[in-house]
């Protein structure tokens, strides 16, 4: 509408312009409010609660298996192997013993057969104790295997195993002598053990513990070892 329109007076024209400005200002204000209230497309929605947030943070994490933890065990003191004992006797000779002199004469005069069952006991030994030894009910402390030994090596090994048992205050040992065609070591072991003053009894082992190829030996308890006071 022209400023110089003859149908409007000057006062009406000014009033019309003021009304237009008011409408323009109101429209601009409404647009700004709508823009501010609109949600931001790039802003992620917040988790509903802390549990959901935790699940999202540990997604992909795997639980460590319990088997991966190290198992600590106390080391156990291992007794010398029977074969090692026989080899030690061969290399270093007999250790200090009270009965180092064992004659071979008795053994040679009383040879034993390969399959013979050895049996010996002193007269004062209780019958039940001897029967328990024969049945293998008495737990033996250590064993020595004489296979492959010479006569002198075998003698040293027998003396060592007896002395070791005495030092630990043990009274049952096992000696594996074998049962070859001539039963040479078996014959010598039979003679040596009968002479040793610490031997109370010996008998061929039960079948499951070596049979006639081994003997179980019952010894006196040590009385002189200061570690063990009776």
Q: Does a structural domain hold residue 125?
A: yes
Pairing between β-strand 199-204 and β-strand 172-176 as defined by DSSP bridges? unpaired
Please report where in the chains the tokens 């180092």 appear, as a residue: 100
Higher local confidence (pLDDT), 70 or 23: 23
Give the Cβ contact number of residue 8 at 10 Å. 15
Count structural domains, the chain: 1
Indicate whether 212 belongs to any domain: yes
Instruction: Decide if 11 is inside a domain.
Output: no
Please name every residue paired with 199 in a beta bridge, in sequence order, or none if there are none: 219
Task: Provide the CATH number for the domain around residue 194.
Answer: 3.30.1370.110
pLDDT tens profile 45-90? 555 667 777 777 767 666 655 555 445 454 444 555 555 665 565 5
pLDDT at 12 over 70: no
Q: Which residues contact 218 (CB under 8 A, 6 or more apart)?
A: 125, 129, 130, 133, 138, 171, 172, 199, 200, 201, 202
Per-residue model confidence (pLDDT) at position 107:
81
CA dihedral defined by 198, 203, 204, 205, rounded to 10 degrees? Answer: -80
Note whether residue 189 is domain-resident. yes
Do residues 101 and 155 make contact, with C-beta atoms less than 8 angstroms apart? no
By percentage, how much of the chain surpasses pLDDT 90? 43
135 SS3 class: helix
The answer to whether the Cα torsion of 15, 18, 24, 27 is positive or negative is: negative
Quick one: DSSP state of residue 214?
Answer: E
Token output for 69: 């933890």
DSSP state of 220: P
How far apart are the C-alpha atoms of 133 and 73, rounded to whole Å? 35
Range of the domain at 190: 113-219
Which is more confident, 187 or 60? 187
> Could you tell me if residue 97 is inside a domain?
no
In a domain, 203, yes or no: yes
Determine, yes or no, domain membership for 31.
Answer: no
* DSSP-based three-state secondary structure for 148: coil
| DSSP-assigned letters across all residues of 58-81 | TTT--PPPGGGSPPP-PPPPPPPP
Residue 42 lies in a domain: no
Question: What pLDDT is recorded for position 55?
Answer: 74
């Amino acid at each position: 509408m022209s400023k110089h329109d003859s149908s409007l007076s000057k006062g009406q024209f000014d009033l019309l312009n003021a009304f237009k400005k008011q409408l323009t200002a109101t429209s601009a204000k409404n647009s700004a409010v709508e823009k501010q209230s609109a949600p931001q497309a790039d802003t992620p929605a917040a988790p509903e609660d802390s549990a959901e947030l935790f699940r999202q943070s540990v997604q992909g994490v795997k639980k460590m298996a319990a088997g991966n933890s190290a198992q600590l065990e106390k080391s156990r003191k291992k007794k010398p192997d029977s074969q090692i004992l026989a080899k030690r006797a061969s290399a270093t000779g007999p250790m200090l013993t009270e009965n180092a002199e064992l004659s071979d004469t008795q053994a040679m005069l009383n040879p034993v057969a390969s399959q013979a069952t050895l049996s010996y006991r002193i007269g004062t030994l209780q019958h039940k104790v001897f029967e328990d030894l024969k049945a293998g009910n008495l737990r033996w402390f250590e064993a020595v295997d004489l296979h492959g030994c010479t006569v002198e090596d075998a003698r040293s090994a027998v003396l060592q195993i007896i002395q070791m048992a005495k030092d630990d205050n043990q009274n049952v040992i096992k000696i594996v002598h074998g049962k070859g065609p001539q039963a040479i070591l078996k014959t010598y072991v039979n003679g040596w053990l009968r002479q040793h003053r610490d031997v109370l009894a010996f008998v061929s082992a039960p079948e499951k513990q070596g049979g006639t190829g081994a003997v179980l030996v019952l010894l006196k308890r040590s009385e002189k070892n200061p570690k063990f006071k009776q």
